[in-house]
Every structure is written in C-alpha cells, then in structure tokens.
Amino acid sequence: MKLFIENLPKAELHLHIEGSFEPSLMFKIAERNKIEIPFNSIEEIEKAYNFNCLQDFLDIYYQSANVLIKEQDFYDLTYSYLEKCAAQNVRHTEIMFDPQTHTKRGVSFKTVIDGITKACEAAEENIGVTSLLIMSYLRHLSEEDAFKTLKESIPFKNKITAVGLDSSEQGNPPSKFKNVFEASVNEGYIPVAHAGEEGPAAYVWEAIDILGIKRIDHGNNCLQDESLIKEIVKRDMALTICPLSNTSLHVVDDLKNHPLKKMLDLGLKATINSDDPAYFGGQVNRNYIEIQKALNLSKSDLYLLAQNSFKYSLLNEDKKQQYLNELEVYYINNK
Ligand SMILES: Nc1ncnc2[nH]cnc12
Ligand SMILES: [Zn+2]
C-alpha cells in the first residue's frame, strides 16, 4: 500500500508555503540574514512543535516566518517544497501564501511574490511540477488590512489565481471579510477559505453563502449540521482535509477517529493535504499513508481521493483531464 501511495499521481490543494519551512532551512536562512532565532538546534525546534490548539501553532509559525527577508529566501523556501512534491508524485500544487505576515514586517509584496513565482516557474521547467497561488488574508487582522493587501496584489494579479482566508478562526467569522472577498472576486480571484477547522458549522455556512467560496479548507465541522452536508454535496464543493494537521492541533483526537471515511460515504468530495508539513509531522504522502492505515482505506478509496485532488483543483479543464488520464492509467495498472 505504501508503494501504491508513493507512486500515486496526486495534487495538493491545501498547503501554506510558510508552513513548509523546515528547521534546517530556517537555520540556514537565519544565519545568512544574521537574524537570531530562539532555538539552538533542530531538536530544540522540533520539541517546541507540540501544540494544544490552532493558536499555539500560529504563534510559532508567525515567529519562524520572521527570518524570511529577501526574494532569495522566498525562492529557496518555495523551491525546496516543490522538490518534495516531485519526490512524492505530487504533480500539481495550489500554494497558499500570507502576504500580511511579511508586509507587516516591512518586506514588500513584490519581494514575496517574486521569490515564490520564480521558484514555481523554475520547478515547472526543471522538475515538471505545476502550481498556482492562493493569496490568503489573515482573519485575525481587520478587513481594512485585507483591502490594503488586495490593493498591493493588483500589479501582480496575473501571478495569483485565488484568495483564501486563514489564521485564528474562532471569533473571526467569514462575514467579517464579506466586502474584501466581493472586491477580490471582482478582480478575478477565485474565493476559497478555511472554515469549520475549529470554528462551528455556522462559519462554513457563512463561507459558502456570504463569501461564495468554491472550495472549503478543512470543513470538518460541517458534520455537525445535516442540512449543511446536503448543501455542500448539492453544490459539489470539495473539502481540503489535512489529517496530520487535525491530530497535531487536536481537531481530531486520534487518526482512527478521523471522519474522512464518513465524509466520503456521505458523498462529500474530500481530498488529502499536508497544511503545514514542517510542523505537523509529514508531507502529503505521509498524510495518505497514516490515514490509510488508521481507517483501513482501500486502493479504490485512495484512487477516489487522488481523483478528487485533480478534479477539484483550480486548473483548466484540459490540464485536469490530462492529470486524471495519467492517474487512471496508473490505477488500472496497479490496483
Ligand atoms: N491550519 C491552519 N489553520 C488556519 N490558519 C493557518 N495558517 C497556517 N495553517 C493554518
Ligand atoms: Zn491551512
């Protein structure tokens, strides 16, 4: 099964580039930028990655991002993640980035986006991984701040496909960002949002009805509301599920109790993703491997999850079909 998963062509639809920042690269970049970090070794960092909830994790995640200053830093961060994609048969990835985490510290929007996009272009050319970008607004900040970010993004609009909403969910409902999402859609960005990770089903309703999102990041708590489940199935919207993130942040107590299989049985279009792989104990293949073991998923379940990853990507229909054909050939030859 492990080999089947490792060779399975797949897409990753929920990945924060700042969450792919491995401790070894963090030390390297901190040293070259002459920035002090509050850790002496990789082991010390890994010990600190013991979270009780989302906010615990976010506090460390934002602190680590402080060492990213130059375009080269964003390039190295992104290229290093894309190399891991190639090694895992992740053929396509949709990368979230948090501009406000960097612009708040005086790093320009241009520095961030240029570093990331140059890495994406080089990776497509050199190692054949396709990617697109999701600019995510930080929901613990104001809508006005998000508007500032939207404005800064306009000169780089052709490099960004979608807008997202992330950071501290509780107390920051999607409705807080109604106007900036409307303006973002008017600029041509596709709306997605984190909803129902720690927040209630009501936040998922708001994300789909008020923000008009096309895909739900996490969405676990939709299971609290039967009419919401029906609505998501009816609208044919995918959920980007992140198993190891869910156990690391205690959204789910044990992978054996993860609702992924239940979601598939209910007709929800689930996909498997890593969220913040450097912090949650595994890249996307580790997420597939661990959830397969915990829930005893069959090869046909895994095939469905990989199909969903391409089908509900933001790629154009031709490219989607090309990947789905490649996946089908793999499944027929390896089932
Ligand atoms: N799992 C997550 N939830 C909300 N915001 C995030 N930012 C990075 N990872 C996140
Ligand atoms: Zn996330």
pLDDT digits (tens, 9 = 90+) for 69-91: 999 999 999 999 999 999 999 99
Cα of 83 from ligand 1 centre, angstroms? 22
Ligand 1 pocket, residue 245 CB under 6 Å: yes
- Can you tell me the mean pLDDT for 138-165? 98
Residues belonging to the active site: 197
The separation between CA 108 and the C-alpha centre of its own chain, rounded to angstroms, equals 23
In this prediction, residue 218 carries a pLDDT of 98
Q: Please give the span between the terminal C-alpha atoms of the chain, in angstroms, as a whole number.
A: 10
Ligand 1 pocket, residue 71 CB under 6 Å: no
Backbone angles phi, psi at 129, to 5 degrees: -95, 125
Query: How far apart, in whole angstroms, are the C-alpha atoms of residue 216 and residue 115?
Result: 27
Residue 34 has pLDDT above 90, yes or no: yes
Query: How far apart, in whole angstroms, are the C-alpha atoms of residue 245 and residue 242?
Result: 5
Candidate of 197, 203, 273, 287 to mutate for ligand 1, largest count of ligand atoms within 8 Å of Cβ: 197
The string of DSSP letters for 133-170 reads EEEEEETTS-HHHHHHHHHHHGGGGGG--EEEEES--T
| Class of 2-334 in CATH | alpha beta
Closest residue (by CA) to atom 5 of ligand 1? 167
Which ligand 1 atom lies nearest to the CA of residue 169? 4
pLDDT digits (tens, 9 = 90+) for 181-223: 999 999 999 999 999 999 999 999 999 999 999 999 999 999 9
- Can you tell me the mean pLDDT for 25-37? 95
Query: How far apart, in whole angstroms, are the C-alpha atoms of residue 30 and residue 37?
Result: 7
Contact 301, 290 (CB under 8 A): no
In this prediction, residue 46 carries a pLDDT of 86
Which ligand 1 atom lies nearest to the CA of residue 139? 5
What letters, b where the CB count within 10 A reaches 16 and e where it falls short, cover 4-32?
bbeebbbbbbbbbbbbbbbbebbbebbee
From the CA of 98, which ligand is nearest? 1
Cα of 167 from ligand 2 centre, angstroms? 8
The string of DSSP letters for 54-76 reads HHHHHHHHHHHHTT--SHHHHHH
In this prediction, residue 284 carries a pLDDT of 98
In this prediction, residue 62 carries a pLDDT of 94
Ligand 1 pocket, residue 197 CB under 6 Å: yes
On average, the pLDDT of the chain sits at: 97
From the CA of 273, which ligand is nearest? 2
Which ligand 1 atom lies nearest to the CA of residue 276? 9
In this prediction, residue 167 carries a pLDDT of 98
The dihedral through the CA atoms of 241, 247, 250, 253 has a sign that is: positive
- Can you tell me the mean pLDDT for 37-48? 89
Known binding residues for substrate are 276
The separation between CA 98 and the C-alpha centre of its own chain, rounded to angstroms, equals 11
In this prediction, residue 144 carries a pLDDT of 98
Residue 321 has pLDDT above 90, yes or no: yes
Closest CA to 6 of 287, 312, 313: 287
How would residue 38 be classed by pLDDT, with cut points 50, 70 and 90? confident
Closest CA to 165 of 156, 174, 175: 174
Ligand 1 pocket, residue 194 CB under 6 Å: yes
Count other C-beta atoms under 10 Å from residue 132's C-beta: 17
Which positions ≥6 away from 147 have C-beta within 8 Å? 179, 180, 183
Cα of 18 from ligand 1 centre, angstroms? 10
Contact 324, 311 (CB under 8 A): yes
Query: How far apart, in whole angstroms, are the C-alpha atoms of residue 219 and residue 204?
Result: 7
- Can you tell me the mean pLDDT for 315-334? 98
Which amino acid, one-letter code, is at 323? Y
Query: How far apart, in whole angstroms, are the C-alpha atoms of residue 19 and residue 279?
Result: 7
From the CA of 165, which ligand is nearest? 1
Instruction: Please report, for the chain, the start and end positions of each structural domain, with discontinuous segments joined by +.
Output: 2-334
Cα of 322 from ligand 1 centre, angstroms? 31
Ligand 1 pocket, residue 101 CB under 6 Å: no
Ligand 1 pocket, residue 166 CB under 6 Å: yes
- Can you tell me the mean pLDDT for 62-73? 96
Please report, rounded to a whole number, the percentage of residues in the chain having pLDDT higher than 70: 100
Query: How far apart, in whole angstroms, are the C-alpha atoms of residue 204 and residue 213?
Result: 10
Closest CA to 145 of 173, 176, 174: 176
Closest residue (by CA) to atom 6 of ligand 1? 167
Cα of 329 from ligand 1 centre, angstroms? 34
Which ligand 1 atom lies nearest to the CA of residue 98? 7
pLDDT digits (tens, 9 = 90+) for 254-305: 999 999 999 999 999 999 999 999 999 999 999 999 999 999 999 999 999 9
In this prediction, residue 29 carries a pLDDT of 97
Please report, rounded to a whole number, the percentage of residues in the chain having pLDDT higher than 90: 98
Read off the pTM.
Answer: 0.98
Task: To the nearest 10°, report the CA torsion of 255, 256, 259, 265.
Answer: 130
Burial class (CB in 10 A: 0-12, 13-18, 19+), 232: buried
- Can you tell me the mean pLDDT for 109-118? 98
